[in-house]
Amino acid sequence: MLIIPAIDIKDGKCVRLTRGDFSQEKIYLDNPRDMAIIWRKQNAKMLHIVDLDAALTGEMVNFDKIRGIVDELDIPVQVGGGIRTADAVKRYLDIGVGRVVIGSAAVTNPKLVEEVLKIYRSSQIVVGIDAENGVPKIKGWTESSGMKDYDLALQMKEMGVERIVYTDISRDGMLQGIGYESTKKFAEKARMKVTASGGVTSFEDLMKLESLRPFGVDSVIIGKAFYECNFPCQKLWYHYEPGICIDHNYSTARKK
């Protein structure tokens, strides 16, 4: 299973939220590019980046920050957050982003998904479904879509979407374990490629997700658990910034 570290950007900084609540923000590094270098040095094969400011406003506030990360790394970068127009999709793909994640717009403007799939490969266009109790939420998780998560997935599947990034909002950032049952139910009904997200806390969570591979769950995005050093292997890494485990060869980090 592919493990994908997450970098959320707000006000130009690398942060983590709790259940998507913008009032519950923890800053980990001032420069997200530095965080990307850290994860790459720890052998990440792919990164998941979210522009939280764009998720709220629809404006590509942190575009230059994300471009700097893409230019720096030699691995694929997946980007989401406030991507609501074909132009936004084009701008990201033009700078070398590997996958663009369309979230709210898949609900509010499904024709956008149909439009971009006529231009780009299905491997480049991913739909993000952030659900609470099986109902997708949109616009930075501030509004309910009023539909079932698997109904949205099946609608996207008919358009040619092959992969869903599925987040159980109730678990995201809580460090209380993956939403196994919700993810399983969704994957069973959608029968698509699924990247799980939200609540991964331990190695045991990864083993649970491994059992969902027959239903299409082939990858997982991990955020806060990495930043808070929840995995045994992270004990081998030196600690610099509070809560961050990084390779001791990373020379620009500020040692405690």
| Three-class secondary structure of residue 229 per DSSP | coil
* The dihedral sign for the CA sequence 99, 100, 106, 111: negative
**Of the listed 8, 51, 53, 172, which one is catalytic?**
8
CB 107 within 8 A of CB 85: no
Active site residue 130: yes
Q: Which of 34, 51, 53, 130 is catalytic?
A: 130
Structure tokens at 9: 């950007």
Contacts of 95 (CB under 8 A, 6+ apart): 66, 67, 70, 71
Active site residue 53: no
3-state secondary structure 85-126: CHHHHHHHHHCCCCEEEECHHHHHCHHHHHHHHCCCCHHHEE
Contacts of 181 by beta carbon, 8 Å cutoff, 6+ apart: none
CB atoms within 10 A of CB 244: 21
Six-digit token pair at 147?
């539909």
> Which residues are annotated as catalytic?
8, 130
